[in-house]
Structure 1
Amino acid sequence: MCPAANQAARQGVRRRSGGAESGAVHEPTVRKLATSLRDVAQFLREYKLVVVGGGGVGKSALTIQFIQSHFVDEYDPTIVHSYRKQCMIDEEVALLDVLDTAGQEEYSAMREQYMRTGEGFLLVYSITSRNSFDEISTFHQQILRVKDKDYFPVVVVANKADLEHERQVGTHEGQALAKHFGCPFIETSAKQRMNVDEAFHNLVREIRRYNKEQAAGRPGAAAATKPAQFQEEQTQSAGCCTGCVIL
């Protein structure tokens, strides 16, 4: 074989060897990446959210609409149901553990038990029920007493906004109550999926803000710095929230 042919053959062998080596490196890289992703999943920040409110205000409908993206029409009094969902909130992944609690008075002691472990609370009332609105202050006081805090992350949620013709509680009343609590306010419709995702996402934002204030050594600062934009940013959201995964 001529020298030129020998050189070409050697180059071909080197090229084939290089290709084989590249393929050998590729598989371990994939395995390493998969392992890294599993490790990240194990260390996702989990948020324990508790949905609180009187009977029949739509707590379960709101929760199921958020978790499963469908509306539950029939009313079946809940004792307690737990749901999990992974979401991207403000470019940060969050694993939400949502507890849907009973609104009936006979379950008050059980509700306190779940309040002890909750990191944030949706205080839900129906715009069609003055009584459910009046109960919100009682639930809020109960949370502060159980937590032994002057402030704790909550969001006031006025549900059933689609039933405007049956409204008994004005929007300004809900806003005033939320301002008194030092927390965000939002009107929702579980039936129309209006502001459902935002209600839960806003609560996660409140928890993050509260934790940052605590870490900075300013335990009372969170209550004095509630952002007003939550009351203004009540855009209707249809369909499932972007980047959410049911677990």
Structure 2
Amino acid sequence: MAQETYQIVLVGGGSVGKTCLAVRYLNGKFLPDYDPTIEQTFKKLVLIDNIPTNLHIIDTAGQDDYKDVRNKYIASGEGFVVVYSIIARSSFDEAKTLLLQIKKEHKSDVPVITVANKIDFEKERVVTVAEGEQLAKKFATSYFEVSAKTGQNTENCFESLVRSLRKKKQEITQQIQQPINNKNESSSGCCIIL
């Protein structure tokens, strides 16, 4: 069985836990110390639904100083994880902006998931579950509440995105093959020379 490769871009405000989310998913570890990311790519072969899958997870900077770098990846990404922190209203507002930017950049339906991180801080929550679900619905994305610290729901969100990427790839393949099949069917007739 051939390996699949997907480029997934993590976007979100600073300090929302994008790096911690990627490290938790790929390595099963939590990074307790915050070190702002400019750009980092994680690569790993994982098995999802018994299919070997190469993931290239690009962790973008959340700080405005690196907006141009992030914009480059928004333009070229195959799938997106838009992350906000449930304890920071400003990160939720930034997630809205990023979702809008992704939808404007990619005219077709690009696979995107909206991720509410830091659910281990439930007592400090300022963004409700209903608000997160409403945001995801508005932009037609899947919605996940996760904790990079505990690992809760981290696998589910990435695996869901990979399944969406596979589905999108199959749809594109079928669209490409459809005209080829139609051409072969129409050219199977006979030719009469007078």
Paired position in structure 1 for 2:49: 90
Q: Quote how far apart the aligned CAs of 1:150 are.
A: 4.7
Alignment partners' CA distance in 2, 1:131 and 1:211: 34
Query: What RMSD in Å do the two structures reach over aligned CA positions?
Result: 1.7
Alignment partners' CA distance in 2, 1:210 and 1:140: 18
Paired position in structure 2 for 1:73: 32
Q: Deviations over 1:161-216 (max 9, x none)?
A: 00001000111111111111112101000110101111111111111122233344
Alignment partners' CA distance in 2, 1:110 and 1:142: 14
Alignment partners' CA distance in 2, 1:188 and 1:204: 17
Alignment partners' CA distance in 2, 1:216 and 1:166: 47
User: Could you tell me which of 76, 79, 98 is aligned with 1:139?
Assistant: 98
Q: Deviations over 1:46-88 (max 9, x none)?
A: 0101111000100011111112211111111100111111111
Alignment partners' CA distance in 2, 1:72 and 1:63: 10
Q: Is the 8 A contact 2:8 2:57 kept in 1?
A: yes
Higher relative contact order (CA 8 A, sep 6+): 2
Alignment partners' CA distance in 1, 2:153 and 2:166: 20
TM (norm. structure 1) is 0.68
Alignment partners' CA distance in 2, 1:166 and 1:213: 42
Are 2:127 and 1:169 aligned? Answer: yes
Paired position in structure 1 for 2:59: 100
Alignment partners' CA distance in 2, 1:174 and 1:140: 12
Paired position in structure 2 for 1:202: 160
Could you tell me which runs of 5 or more consecutive residues in structure 1 were left unpaired when the two chains were aligned. 1-39, 218-247
Kindly report which structure 2 residues correspond to 1:1-247, keeping only aligned pairs within 5 A, or say none.
43-147=2-106, 149-217=107-175
Q: Is the 8 A contact 2:8 2:55 kept in 1?
A: yes
Q: Is the 8 A contact 1:65 1:190 kept in 2?
A: yes
Q: Is the 8 A contact 1:112 1:146 kept in 2?
A: no
Could you tell me which runs of 5 or more consecutive residues in structure 2 were left unpaired when the two chains were aligned. 176-194
